[in-house]
Structure 1
Amino acid sequence: MSYTDPDDSLPEHVPGEAEMSAQKEAILKQILEPQARMRLSNIRMVKPETAAALESHLINAASQGRLAGKISDEHLKQILQSMQKPRREFKINRR
């Protein structure tokens, strides 16, 4: 019997998590203005799941060619508002 290494079945170059993260950051750096990148990093600290959803949305839009130029901070705010679920307003009537 011959021993086969389980790692032999894997391709030579499997992108690691760090490499994918660096690639994502490079793409975001190309499509976001500095103020928008700063806002995204602030969002990432407070709400990581929202930041991840926003990043994937932006990268998908960029890869499909739906972005014209860099995204400004104001445009990023608009995208964030469109991604958020509408909040219900509660009105309390006092008698």
Structure 2
Amino acid sequence: MAAEGGDEELERLREKKLREMQEQAEARRRAEELAAQRRLALKRILTPEALARLDNLRIVRPELVEALEQQLISLAASGRVKLPITDDDLKEILAQIYERSRKEYRFRF
């Protein structure tokens, strides 16, 4: 009898672990799908040179690039930016971001 209870408990633990693994796999799949959609959108709105600059910047400042990508996609979707965004356009946007962040940090103690 006690062995049966142990077997049932072991089976419940296995099922729980299997569900957790399936949920993690699904979350990874959704994240990969969203990343692919974002990449496709960026390929449409950026020139190859601008996209390469963004990829290089991602190595150094991934959090900045993620936020910038969302902003660029939103701007393009709303028609508030001229398409395609060139490398020079992207440099200008990055310079503005840098200037803003420099001012923000300048006054913090």
TM-score (norm 2): 0.63
Tell me which residue corresponds to 1:48.
62
Mapped pair 1:36 → 2:50: yes
Quick one: which of 80, 83, 88 aligns to 1:66? 80
Q: CA deviation at 1:47?
A: 0.8
Unaligned stretches of 5+ residues in structure 2: 1-26
Letter in 1 for 2:57: I
* 1:53 CA drift (Å): 1.5
Match of 1:27 among 41, 45, 48: 41
Gaps of 5+ in 1: 1-13, 89-95
Flag the structure with larger Rg: 2
Shift of 1:56: 1.1
* Greater share of helix: 2
* TM-score where L is the length of structure 1: 0.72
Paired residue type of 1:86: R
What is the aligned-residue identity percentage?
41
Regions of 4+ moved over 3 Å = none
Shift of 1:43: 0.4
Alignment root-mean-square deviation, CA: 1.7
